[in-house]
Amino acid sequence: MSPRSVLSRLAGREAGVAALWLATVAAVGMVNPDFLRAANLHAIFVKCAPVVIVACGVTLVIVTGEIDISVGSLMGLLAVAGGIVTSPDRMGLSPQAGAAAVLAAGAGIGLLTGLLVTLGRVPSIIVTLGMLTALRGLTRVLMGGRWIESIPPSLRVLSIGSTLGVRNCLWVAMAVLALTVVLAHLTPLGRRIYAVGSSPRAAALAGLSSRRIKVFAFAFTGFLTGVATLAGQLEVGTIEPDIGQGFELLVVTCVVVGGTSIRGGVGTVIGSALAAILMMTIGTALVFLKLGASASYWERAIQGAFILLAVLTDQLSRRRGTGEDTL
Amino acid sequence: MNMWRRIRAMGLWHELVLAGLLAGLLAGAWYFEQTRGAEFVSWETQTALSSHMWEMALLSVPLTLIIISGGIDLSVGAIMSLSAVTMGLAWQAGMGVWPAVGLTLAAGLTAGAMNGTFVVFLGVHPLIVTLGTMSAYRGIAEGLIGAEPVSQFPAGFLAMSEPLVAGLPPAGILFVVLAIAAGVLLGRTAAGRELRAIGYNETTARFSGVAVARTKLLLYTASGLVSAVAAVLFVARRDTAKADVGAGLELTAITAVVLGGTSIFGGRGRIGGTVLGVLLLHEVRSLVAWRWNRDELTFIIVGAMLILSVLVHSVLTRRKS
């Protein structure tokens, strides 16, 4: 795909999501100008960072026509693994060893998922549903009924530190996003990911190995989950048992709102990132609207409304455009 | 060998494997208790341990039909939450408890019909529709009730969780009735065949004169109604109505259905398999909790069972090409 067609793609759903976000920010800013302060917007972006990082991988998985709903449990497991390796109460190894363990375990479990889907021919929703459950159990077993405490700050530097006044997790998220955009739109591998997703049969006839491409997408997602764990989940030095719970559905939601088709072949990581920013803005916006303490309880309802709205507009525009009535 | 072939031809091997696992599990537990003097394999222990499984079991029945038709419903837990909150607020607002139950069932029915409408008339993939309505319904429930749960329902209502026949509470009896009805529908009626036809190939089914839209609408509406029933039974069992009712139950119910041998791609599946899937899931969980008092191990076992059951199936049925 040429850079120009990347731009023309961005004109669709991505522009819509960006416009909706700008409208939300402007509307809340008019009611409460404090919302527009740089520190507040910065805080919102910090909340987005882990979602954006993982969504980059999950977008590619969904574009290949598969799905991954295990990233929340995987994130919990990786945080605990990193904590166990480095915490002086447990193994007490160096932070480099901890970071390596987190990234390797993430990529390894992603690889296993990919192999079960391709070689084992188990549908990805089943494999990752099983992983969602099993990894959560494994996390609890590893924790052994205690919280993990006193994780060294050197392992948490991506989560807590700042560079040039911007939190490190944002730099990481931007780097991952840029890397994935290049990978998806400017490399042969990226073209193959879209080819396998949009027409598996044509891709196979063209000599593409859908297996290898799918295994890559799952392993990449696992690796990015490790990156997101280091960059987003270690703000405090303790880890609770239910860390990462519900994260998987949030990520899938952002990917779908961002315009990726669940049937594969269509969607961009930019769209997913914009949708993640939109979704994570809503919670903070409700606080700044000062509608009273009970207003923040409506966060999830508004998120759900945005999902349905995104699906609706997509469906209506598609119907008008091509007469097709399927996603 | 001949018998094995016949079993495979009937497609019953999955149910056999599940029944074998279940029997092995209970036999193992029975063997252990000979040395320890505690009773896991007894009707009393089993009914006592089963009180909390019936809501998930109820959800799994319409879910089986939906998955066989090629769809999915991720919103069942959220509909339970919305229904429980409806129940709580109606009772709090001074409505009689039984009219409140009626309103709750109506709420679940409406939520299910909304799912069906989105799926049928907008042609959006059910995974996406119910992912969206899952957030929306649970969000509305959270918004309506806030942080304060409602409790202190009248004794006559709470009595619904008491054992009724053979140690089974009304929820358990309802599950048996519902499972038999769905089994008959699926195996013995034209509607059941149409359901499978939609799951195998929706376009072919439509051109063969199957009322695809009506069938789907009914399925999702039924799923919403059953979720509301499960919510009412939950509120009666725990005497509390709050927004986190049914959280995560959609994934457990889907696990039970798939463990029972229903294909996630639609077309293939049986209620008998789902019943065995529900029982196996429940027995593993209660045995581990009862014997070792460690809930976390069950997550690993259940997750591994889910993947392995489908993996073994895909290896066994792999065509030699």
Q: Across residues A272-276, what is the average pLDDT?
A: 92
Per-position b or e across A287-323, b if 16+ CB within 10 A of its CB: bbeeeeeeebbbbbbbbbbbbbebbeebbeebeeeee
Q: Across residues A224-237, what is the average pLDDT?
A: 85
Q: Give B44 or B161, the one with higher predicted confidence.
A: B161
Quickly state the pLDDT bin for A5 (edges 50, 70, 90). low
pLDDT of residue A150: 74
**Contact call for A308 and B136, based on CB within 8 A:** yes
**Contact call for B131 and A325, based on CB within 8 A:** no
| Residues of chain B positioned with their CB less than 8 A from the CB of A117 | none
Quickly state the pLDDT bin for B312 (edges 50, 70, 90). confident
Res A169 pLDDT > 80? yes
CA distance A19 to B85: 35
Range from A107-121, B35-49, B296-310 carrying the lowest mean pLDDT: B35-49
Q: What share of chain B in percent tops pLDDT 90?
A: 40
CA distance B58 to B97: 22
Quickly state the pLDDT bin for B319 (edges 50, 70, 90). low
pLDDT in tens, B199-213: 998 889 989 888 899
Amino acid at A299: E
Which CATH code of 3.30.9.10, 3.40.630.30, 1.10.600.10, 1.10.3470.10 fits the domain covering A12-315?
A: 1.10.3470.10
With residue B76 as reference, give the H or E element that holds it: helix B76-92
Range from A71-80, B226-235, B249-258, B281-290 carrying the lowest mean pLDDT: B281-290
| Residues of chain B positioned with their CB less than 8 A from the CB of A300 | 135-136, 138-139, 142-143
Q: Across residues A38-50, what is the average pLDDT?
A: 89
Q: Across residues B25-35, what is the average pLDDT?
A: 78
DSSP-assigned letter for residue B292: T
Tokens of A45: 């972006």
Query: Taking the CB of residue A92, how many other CB atoms lie within 10 A of it?
Result: 14
- Residue in chain A nearest B257 by alpha carbon: A126
Q: What share of chain B in percent tops pLDDT 70?
A: 94
pLDDT of residue A77: 92
Cα-atom radius of gyration of chain A, to the nearest Å? 20
Task: Catalogue the E-assigned strands of chain B.
Answer: 150-151, 240-241
pLDDT of residue A318: 63
pLDDT of residue A164: 83
Q: Across residues A11-37, what is the average pLDDT?
A: 85
Res B184 pLDDT > 90? yes
**Contact call for B299 and A127, based on CB within 8 A:** no
Quickly state the pLDDT bin for B76 (edges 50, 70, 90). very high
Question: Which residue of B265, B296, B297 to mutate against A (max A Cβ within 10 Å)?
Answer: B296
- If we measure between CA atoms, which residue out of A209, A259, A264, A203 comes closest to residue A65? A264
N-to-C CA span, chain B: 23
**Contact call for B251 and A132, based on CB within 8 A:** yes
**Contact call for A123 and B310, based on CB within 8 A:** yes
Give the strand pairing for B240-241 and A166-167: unpaired
**Contact call for B134 and A249, based on CB within 8 A:** yes
Q: Give B89 or A200, the one with higher predicted confidence.
A: B89
CA distance B135 to B124: 16
pLDDT of residue A3: 53
| Residues of chain A positioned with their CB less than 8 A from the CB of B135 | 253, 300-301, 303-304, 307
pLDDT of residue A325: 39
Res A204 pLDDT > 90? no
Amino acid at A8: S
Res A296 pLDDT > 80? no
Distance (Å) from the alpha carbon of A216 to chain B's nearest alpha carbon: 20
Instruction: State how far the alpha carbon of A11 is from the alpha carbons of A16, A271, B214, in Å.
Output: 8, 10, 37
Instruction: State how far the alpha carbon of B203 is from the alpha carbons of B198, B200, B207, in Å.
Output: 8, 9, 6
Q: Across residues A292-320, what is the average pLDDT?
A: 74
Instruction: State how far the alpha carbon of B182 is from the alpha carbons of B37, B63, B219, in Å.
Output: 40, 11, 11
pLDDT in tens, B100-132: 999 999 999 999 999 999 999 887 888 888 888
CA distance A191 to A183: 9
Query: Taking the CB of residue A201, how many other CB atoms lie within 10 A of it?
Result: 8
Res A326 pLDDT > 60? no
Instruction: State how far the alpha carbon of A214 is from the alpha carbons of A178, A180, A211, B207, in Å.
Output: 21, 15, 5, 34
Do A195 and A202 touch, CB atoms closer than 8 A? yes
Amino acid at A123: P
Res B8 pLDDT > 70? no
DSSP-assigned beta bridge partners for residue B165: B168
Tokens of B24: 């092995």
| Residues of chain B positioned with their CB less than 8 A from the CB of A116 | 307, 311
Quickly state the pLDDT bin for A234 (edges 50, 70, 90). confident
Res A266 pLDDT > 90? no
Instruction: Sort B208 into a burial class: Cβ within 10 Å, 0-12 / 13-18 / 19+.
Output: exposed
pLDDT of residue B266: 85
DSSP-assigned letter for residue A89: T
Compare CB distances from A137 to B138, B142, B298 and report the shortest one's residue. Answer: B298
Alpha helices in A144-187 (DSSP H): 157-160, 168-186
pLDDT of residue A2: 52
Q: Which residue has the tokens 């199936």?
A: B313
Give the strand pairing for B150-151 and A162-163: unpaired
**Contact call for A301 and B315, based on CB within 8 A:** no
DSSP-assigned letter for residue B199: H
**Contact call for A301 and B139, based on CB within 8 A:** yes
Size of interface A-B (CB pairs under 8 A): 146
Amino acid at B101: V
**Contact call for B122 and A312, based on CB within 8 A:** yes
pLDDT of residue A69: 87
CA distance A106 to B269: 34
**Contact call for A116 and B265, based on CB within 8 A:** no
For the four alpha carbons of B240, B246, B247 and B249, in that order, the dihedral sign comes to positive
Q: Which residue has the tokens 């959609």?
A: B250
CA distance A253 to B244: 20
- Residue in chain B nearest A310 by alpha carbon: B132
**Contact call for A137 and B301, based on CB within 8 A:** yes
Question: Which residue of A58, A67, A112, A297 to mutate against B (max B Cβ within 10 Å)?
Answer: A297
Res A107 pLDDT > 60? yes
Compare CB distances from B311 to A116, A297, A305 and report the shortest one's residue. Answer: A116
CA distance A260 to A68: 14
Phi, psi dihedrals of residue A162, rounded to the nearest 5°: -130, 150
Average pLDDT, chain B: 86
CA distance B114 to A165: 47
What residues does each domain of chain A span?
A: 12-315
DSSP-assigned letter for residue B268: -
Res A157 pLDDT > 80? no
DSSP-assigned beta bridge partners for residue A163: A166
Tokens of A38: 């740089």
CA distance B85 to B83: 5
pLDDT of residue B305: 82
N-to-C CA span, chain A: 22
* Domains annotated on chain B, with CATH: 52-309 (1.10.3470)
**Contact call for B128 and A311, based on CB within 8 A:** yes
Highest averaged pLDDT of the listed ranges A195-204, A262-271, B66-75, B142-151: B66-75
Compare CB distances from B122 to A126, A130, A315 and report the shortest one's residue. Answer: A315
Distance (Å) from the alpha carbon of B128 to chain A's nearest alpha carbon: 8
